[in-house]
Amino acid sequence: MEQLIVGEGGGRLDKFLAAKVPKYSRSAWRQFINDSLVKVNGRTVKPHYFINKGDIISWSISSSILKSQPNKKISRVSLPLKIIAEKPDYLVINKPAGLLTHDNFWPPRQPTVVGKLAKKYPEILSLGDNPTRPGLVHRLDRDVSGLMVIPRTEPMFNALKRQFKNHTVRKVYTGLVYGTLPQTQGVINFKLGRSTNGRKMAARPFNQAGKSALTEYEVIRQWTDYTLLKIIIKTGRTHQIRAHLAAIGHPLVGDNWYGTNKTKIKNKALGINRVFLVATQLSFLDLAKVRQTFSLRLPRQMTSFFNTLK
């Protein structure tokens, strides 16, 4: 049994534990709390319990409990990683849609980017300060594909971490949205914060709580009911592109989290099993301070779909 005493109150229990005990992610702590493995002052509570100064939080999470956690259903389709660049200090990969970047546990309970890479590049397991997501300096959502950089050495890990923090990494995405936009380019600057159910991000006006987020877009091509966009994010918030595009009334094709009831029905009718968003360009400085830039073509699933549009 482990425990800690809250020094300063305020905030949700799951968020507090994820910050104080980063061995497990916030979603993992949420699951432990829901499974009654965490108690506050000797009683079970909900993940959204608002902690108070002096609260005694206790938990007991054994290795047998971790192994018994149920796996989510995963696709039987092979999800291979393609190595775009293999350097002594880093890798650049093309993550396929459907593959998690990381799991909430290590070893992961289902296929992940980290799990697949660790077999050939075990050095990444020693990098970073979170044992459940070693070597990661950024991520892509499960149903999004595209370029990722994975450090292989501590100096490169630290260099990339600083670049992402300072917003000097250039990330360009290509996405297909529902509807036609009234202008060929624009900027979305709604704040982002957790929605009331805690599972999605919600776009909010400036007078409400949330983190600042800036998304630029430019129209590449338009059809009658669809628009292909070039998207550049100036900040890297969770689900930023998906939440921002949905907020202006143009959710991404295939996005059942942020889409409307109408677009969700259309996604199902079209048989789309991924979000039509791809990280198509990635640019960063290597350890010699030389800017490295990598680009991808759009996957065939998307280009084939374009041929059906008018």
Give the total residue count for the chain: 310
Catalytic residue among 141, 143, 255, 286: 141
CB 95 within 8 A of CB 140: yes
Rg over alpha carbons for the chain, rounded to the nearest Å, is: 21
Cα distances from 15 to residues 4, 58, 119, 127, 164, in angstroms, run 15, 15, 31, 23, 22
Secondary structure of residue 72 in the 3-state scheme: coil
- 266/253 Cα distance (integer angstroms): 9
The residues pairing with 192 across neighbouring beta strands, listed in sequence order, are: 203, 211
Sheet arrangement for strand 38-40: 2-5, 56-59, 38-40, 43-44
Residue 55 appears among annotated catalytic residues: no
Contact 110, 74 (CB under 8 A): yes
The answer to whether 140 touches 110, Cβ cutoff 8 Å, is no
**Token output for 113:** 């980017």
Distances (CA, A) of 291 to 35, 158, 182, 287: 47, 16, 35, 9
- Closest C-alpha to 56, from 65, 64, 45, 67: 45
Cite the active site residues: 141
